[in-house]
Chains A and B, each alone.
Chain A
């Protein structure tokens, strides 16, 4: 009966422009107006809070020049390769740890405890190993994204409902069929989630490495804007970067069907 009550409420609360949208608009307008006032007041040092017009034109400026797309391509390439390396390694190691209890007992706790440690501090080593070019950035990204992927794949494999495996065995499925028809579909959620987490931290690893030492890439552009004290450009770059990162994250989630698995 409680369910019917809830359904009723949900059905009632769905007008065209609801109070939620209004509140959102109100919050955004208040923030923007506050920002603009702060910019005009001159209370803070000059340029720390540039006017919205300046930021807007900096965004337009950024998006209209090929330079940004070149650097975006460099960074995207680095992240892509990093995800490929770190992700493949992560999935393979994760499967091994998930399948074999002995391996998991022997090694997983190391990975578990190394997971939530700062990765950027490995950058000096990566520079020594892979040079100052894109190689060290790729390495940073790969190291960063490896951990969340390993851990969620291993945990995901162990969390598969044992009865599904018994069902597979009862139909005498062979190993390959088991992997293809039972394990992978049952693990889709944790794998996609691991990749999403991995992408997030891999992105941060790569970009931070670029801000520390590089001559191309988005991270380099950001730190360049900082050293030139070009605040509107820096804001523009951060805004575009955030929009891209949030968008890609949502896209991976959507493609992986993270929304549709709720029933399981």
Chain B
């Protein structure tokens, strides 16, 4: 499905991120990661916790400086949050003091769109994520899945060229996650929305992606890029198919090694902290 013929819209070249930590000394969070995303493509970045994928998310979103390498959108190097990139965060990020409509209208308010126009626009995106009927509710009255859809609608309302999502469903239960995945897939297909999803969930990645980039545990490198040749349009029903199972098994084989390295690392760190304390 990947439209490899056209120019990539997002290009990430040789990103290196290092952190100085008091315990472990300098830690390489992201090690020479390069990737590109074609217009309309759905790319997932998958890796175990601690592989630096959230760091990569912050780099691409322009929230983190001080890295080596280059991120460019449609040929333009970014040096901070870019209007073409819309971010959806892992944590609950709706504004509790704004109604659903006002939350979604937030980016429209920033560009100075007149009130009635932006409310109309906001309603469109609320409907898109399937929250019509809840326009005047406050996030406090909604479930976690609904709130995450509000965040998604808010980001979509800014009409970004690239939708960048950091484990947006991590806090939700499996069923909600699958159904929301359907919603995202449908929106992505309808809008031909270029999407980059950061996740640690294999099912989610295979369900939605054209390509999956597997990262290694610390330092975070590109381990492999897997093309997912499953028919589109897709829904969560595909989860039961044989081809789906093969992809999941293949990616798990890659990830297993990395995840167990991460686990071992956690254990030694805990032991070291204990020793330092006693």
Chain A residues within 8 Å of B, Cβ to Cβ: 1-2, 4-5, 7-8, 11
Contact = CB atoms under 8 A, between A and B. Distances in A.
Contacts of A5: 19, 64
B21 A7 contact: yes
Interface majority SS (helix, strand, loop, mixed), chain B: mixed
Contacts of B27: 4
A10 to B, nearest CB: 8
A61 B54 CA distance: 64
Provide the main secondary structure of the chain A interface. Answer: helix
B63 to A, nearest CB: 10
Contacts of B54: 1-2
B58 A4 contact: no
B29 interface: yes
Contacts of A8: 19-21
User: Which of A1, A2, A7, A8 neighbours the largest number of chain B CB atoms within 10 Å of its CB?
Assistant: A1
Contacts of A11: 20, 22
Interface in B15-72: 19-22, 27, 29, 52, 54-55, 58, 64
A2 B90 CA distance: 13
A12 to B, nearest CB: 8
A4 to B, nearest CB: 4
A59 to B, nearest CB: 44
A4 B17 CA distance: 12
A11 B22 CA distance: 7
A8 B58 CA distance: 17
A11 B52 CA distance: 21
20 contacts: A1-B19, A1-B29, A1-B52, A1-B54, A1-B55, A1-B58, A2-B54, A4-B19, A4-B21, A4-B27, A4-B29, A5-B19, A5-B64, A7-B21, A7-B22, A8-B19, A8-B20, A8-B21, A11-B20, A11-B22
B272 to A, nearest CB: 16
A34 B22 CA distance: 44
A249 B114 CA distance: 55
Given A1-B58, A4-B21, 14 more contacts: A1-B19, A1-B54, A1-B55, A2-B54, A4-B27, A4-B29, A5-B19, A5-B64, A7-B21, A7-B22, A8-B19, A8-B21, A11-B20, A11-B22
